[in-house]
């Protein structure tokens, strides 16, 4: 949980200089990665 907080703080610092479109693109990329990881985990569970 602590690592997530640190990540979020770093994320906010990084996106301060960005415009809104860059923030949206970064958010979409992170969401896509998250979906990929979750679906991979679900596939592994279903295969087992």
Single pTM value for the model? 0.51
Distance, CA of 31 to CA of 36 (rounded, Å): 9
Which residue reads 């906010």 in tokens? 12
| pLDDT value of position 12 | 72
Residue ranges of the domains in the chain?
18-48
Q: Record the tokens describing residue 10, joined without a space.
A: 């770093």
| pLDDT value of position 2 | 79
| pLDDT value of position 14 | 66
Angle 11-35-21 from CA coordinates, rounded to 5°: 45
CB 15 within 8 A of CB 23: yes
| pLDDT value of position 17 | 65
pLDDT in tens, 3-48: 777 777 777 776 666 677 777 888 899 999 999 999 999 999 999 7
Angle 35-37-40 from CA coordinates, rounded to 5°: 105
């Amino acid at each position: 949980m602590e690592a997530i907080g640190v990540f979020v703080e770093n994320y906010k610092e990084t996106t301060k200089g960005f415009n809104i479109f860059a923030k949206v693109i970064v958010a979409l990329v992170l969401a896509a990665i998250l979906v990929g990881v979750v679906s991979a985990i679900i596939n592994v569970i279903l295969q087992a």
